[in-house]
Amino acid sequence: MARTATPTTGWLLRGQDGRLTAYAPAENGLLRWTETRPGGPEWTGPERLVVPGLEPHLSLCRTERGYVYLFGVRTRVMDDGRTGTDVVYATQFQPGRALTPWRSIGTPYGQDRERAAQIGAPAAVVDKHGPNVFIRNAGGGVCGRRQDAKGVWGPWLDMKGSTVLDALCAAATEDGRAELLALSGDTVQSWAQDEPGGPLRRVRNIPAKALSGTGASVAGGSGRVTHFWRDAAESALHVHAHAAGEEPGVPLSLGPYEDDGSGPVAAVRTTIDGHDCTVLAQRTASGLPAVAAYPTGDEGAGVFWSKTGEVCVGAPALALDGLGRVVLAAFAPDGGLCVARQREESGLALGSWVRV
């Protein structure tokens, strides 16, 4: 099974000093845009960061201190002329500064290059102790590797699972309890920590026919992680969350939409008019970004989508800037970065789109 460069939403992150940074895969590396000060509006970039052999799919995760980990898969021609595949990562300690050197954490297959070449794209999350990274393995299940509280990487673990589609997704609660979601042909599979930083255990499968490449996860309030995916038949957005130690229930549909979305949905929590809300963003079938919001933890309240901006490619991203405002970002068809920022008024009102 080959890796696919599916859209991802977690490419806009606030760094240690409050500035936002946007990342995009590029040939043999990545592009980076950085706010010149917290809250903008000016940005620098795009800077091209060369990483020979880096494939065009990144998974990013952020620590409480604002350190950003970037994970990817690297393929290179080795000294013996054969192609080698490994999972690599780098760390962004301060926005706009150089990344650390890219380090390899290998694959579950050691020197078996044929099986290593079959791994999926990584999904990363920071729990109470540090980063975790997960991949679809060569057999269609899931393998994972994690750092302990001392920063030491443990071994690759076989987490089981079966017929997993590419592009896993993961998120952690505010106290550092991580969950992982994997879509397969007839079920949605998940793993969860019962306590922050503990081992991930397999959670009962959710019967659902999910569309490949549409999974997304976000901290959902009340110690929960909220997961999203699209129905394979209608592309309708489904949402599911459960508390630690609970078995999953029936996922909810966020309702029909006259211009169906595509790809994964971006999500961020914020306070709107004094209420804890989850803001969503998606790319519609017409190519325009659309946003919605609902009270955090009340997925059954439904959402009303509002289109905004111009046609975009890939999946949009959401983040809170250094002033606590919602920022929606998307890439134009020519690769340019476009940003809209929450206005200082009641409700969720976005200002004009700005081409960076």
Locate 159 and state its tokens: 């987490």
What kind of fold does domain 12-260 have according to CATH? Neuraminidase (2.120.10)
Task: Count Cα atoms within 13 angstroms, Cβ side, for 211.
Answer: 20
Q: Which is nearest to 109 in space by CA: 76, 126, 128, 84?
A: 84
Longest alpha-carbon distance in the chain: 63
Give the pairing type, strands 123-126 and 103-106: unpaired
Q: Quick one: pLDDT at residue 167?
A: 77
Closest of 133, 118, 126, 198 to residue 164, by C-alpha: 118
Edge-to-edge strands, sheet with 43-50: 12-14, 20-26, 29-35, 43-50
What pLDDT band is residue 250 in, cutting at 50, 70 and 90?
Answer: low
ω before 41 within 30° of 0 (cis)? yes
pLDDT 10s digits, 19-43: 999 999 998 999 999 999 999 999 9
pTM for the full model? Answer: 0.95
Collect all residues with Cβ–Cβ distance below 8 Å to 287 and sequence separation of at least 6: 311, 312, 313
Rounded Cα distance between 206 and 190, Å, is: 8
Query: What is the pLDDT averaged over residues 203-214?
Result: 90
pLDDT tens, residue by residue, 269-324: 999 999 999 999 999 989 999 999 999 988 888 888 999 999 999 999 999 999 99
User: Residue 78 is which amino acid?
Assistant: M
pLDDT band at residue 46 using 50, 70 and 90 as cut-offs: very high
Of residues 343, 313, 310, 309, the one with CA closest to residue 326: 343
Predicted confidence band of residue 258 (pLDDT cuts 50, 70, 90): low
Is the separation of the CB atoms in 13 and 62 below 8 Å? yes
Alpha-carbon Rg for the chain, nearest whole angstrom, is 19
Q: What per-residue confidence (pLDDT) applies to 221?
A: 79
Q: Is the pLDDT of residue 330 over 80?
A: yes
% residues pLDDT > 70 (the chain):
95
User: Tokens 């959401």 — which residue?
Assistant: 318
Token code pair at residue 172: 């952690």
Contacts of 333 (CB under 8 A, 6+ apart): 311, 312, 313
State how far the Cα of 24 lies from the Cα of 5, in Å rounded to an integer: 12
Between CA 278 and CA 271 the distance in angstroms is 8
